[in-house]
């Protein structure tokens, strides 16, 4: 009997300690959420410093969030594996709101369709906070090609199968996929010329070694306005504020054609919803601010806010879209 009571006593003490730890943890978690943020936040940019629009937009986001939150948001570049190394780092970080990710289309919605062994699942392992900006893609040709519309490009490609070359910053990237989507929807044959980066691709495009390219406006605007490149179609559903006179590719016969590079904010999965909502609201204020809109336009991007739920839905649909294209064209990425 004494032994039984001893066991019962130990059980009750153990249960009491477990409950104490549980409610203590809940209380601490609640307090941490209510006081968030009470220290600096690290914002991981998964690309090299100064190398791309993604870095520029990430640093802009860090600066504006610092102003809104009253705590320093420190940008930290973690490049590698086409943006996947930085994304993996955040997916495995503590879900406390102090390690965030500048999430972009290439690693998050395209990457899983190309590399089945990423080491993480963007949809399961990252929590969307909100979309911040959209960088429209534009189809351009070297001015010496002598065409000014998508219909003329299709006609030329049909007359001369595999005679036209299109450049990209690398196999499997958004510029490559834009070219493949165009080939698929227009039912034409062209040769893909992959480069090791945007700079090399741009050099050959401007020299005329390759005839065309589809990429973000940031890299092309100066050369379009200078007359060396001809913009023949915007690759989004509506005209761009930056080049309002250029019609969309969809309006020129390829209905539904859409390629863009979006930029959003993500946290590790299981980050408290209260923190996600706080950051999402601050991001909405920043995105709707006229000063932010002006700064984005100077970088060839446009303000585009989506809340956490909308971005989560968009990420899933964008991933499915590129997966279907890659499968349809049997695209090889080796």
- For every residue of 31-90, DSSP letters joined together read HHHHT--SS-EEEEESS-TTSSHHHHHHHHHHHHHHHHHSS-EEEEE---GGGHHHHHHH
Q: Which of 252, 286, 302 is the last residue of a domain?
A: 252
Say if 257 falls within a structural domain: no
What tens digit of pLDDT does each residue of 120-129 get? 999 999 999 9
pLDDT at 265 over 50: yes
Q: What is the pLDDT of residue 276?
A: 98
3-state secondary structure of 221: helix
Domain count of the fold of the chain: 2
Q: How confident is the model at residue 3 (pLDDT cuts 50, 70, 90)?
A: low
In a domain, 306, yes or no: yes
- Facing residues of 306 across strands? 131
- Region 126-152 average pLDDT: 95
On the question of pLDDT at 27 being above 80, the answer is no
Residue range(s) defining the domain that contains residue 324: 41-135+262-328
At 158-171, the pLDDT tens digits run 999 999 999 998 88
State pTM to two decimals: 0.82
Query: In which band, very low, low, confident or very high, does the pLDDT at 33 lie, cut at 50, 70 and 90?
Result: confident
Q: What does the alpha-carbon distance between residue 171 and residue 48 come to, in Å, rounded to a whole number?
A: 19
Asked whether residue 26 is domain-assigned, the answer is no
CATH of the domain at 146: 3.40.190.10
| Same-domain check for residues 75 and 102 | yes
Dihedral sign computed on CA atoms, order 153, 158, 162, 163: negative
Choosing from 227, 252, 277, the residue where a domain stops is 252
Same domain membership, residue 167 and residue 310: no
Is 34 part of any domain? no
Give yes or no: residues 167 and 69 share one domain: no
Cis-peptide, bond into residue 37, ω within 30° of zero: yes
């Amino acid at each position: 009997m004494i032994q039984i009571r001893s066991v019962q006593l130990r059980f009750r003490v153990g249960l009491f300690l477990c409950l104490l730890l549980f409610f203590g943890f809940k209380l601490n978690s609640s307090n941490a959420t209510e006081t968030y943020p009470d220290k600096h936040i690290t914002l991981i940019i998964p690309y090299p410093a100064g190398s791309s629009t993604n870095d520029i937009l990430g640093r802009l986001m860090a600066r504006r969030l610092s102003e809104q939150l009253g705590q320093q948001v420190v940008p930290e570049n973690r490049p590698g594996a086409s943006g996947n190394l930085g994304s993996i780092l955040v997916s495995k970080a503590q879900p406390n709101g102090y390690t965030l990710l500048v999430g972009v289309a290439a690693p998050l919605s395209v990457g899983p369709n190309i590399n089945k062994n990423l080491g993480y699942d963007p949809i399961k392992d990252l929590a969307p906070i909100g979309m911040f900006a959209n960088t429209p893609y534009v189809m351009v040709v070297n001015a010496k090609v002598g065409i000014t519309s998508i219909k003329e490009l299709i006609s030329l490609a049909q007359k001369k199968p595999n005679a036209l070359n299109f450049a990209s910053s690398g196999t499997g990237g958004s510029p490559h996929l834009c070219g493949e989507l165009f080939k698929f929807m227009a039912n034409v044959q062209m040769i893909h010329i992959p480069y090791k980066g945007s700079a090399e691709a741009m050099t050959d495009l401007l020299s005329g070694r390759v005839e065309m390219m589809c990429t973000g406006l940031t890299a092309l605007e100066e050369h379009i306005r200078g007359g060396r490149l001809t913009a023949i179609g915007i690759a989004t559903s509506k005209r761009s504020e930056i080049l309002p006179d250029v019609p969309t590719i969809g309006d020129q016969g390829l209905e539904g054609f859409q390629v863009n590079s979006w930029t959003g904010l993500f946290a590790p999965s299981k980050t408290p919803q209260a923190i996600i909502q706080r950051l999402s609201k601050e991001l909405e204020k920043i995105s709707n601010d006229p000063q932010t809109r002006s700064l984005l336009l100077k970088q060839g991007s446009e303000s585009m806010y989506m809340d956490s739920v909308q971005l989560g839905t968009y990420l899933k649909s964008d991933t499915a879209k590129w997966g279907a294209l890659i499968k349809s064209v049997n695209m090889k990425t080796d």
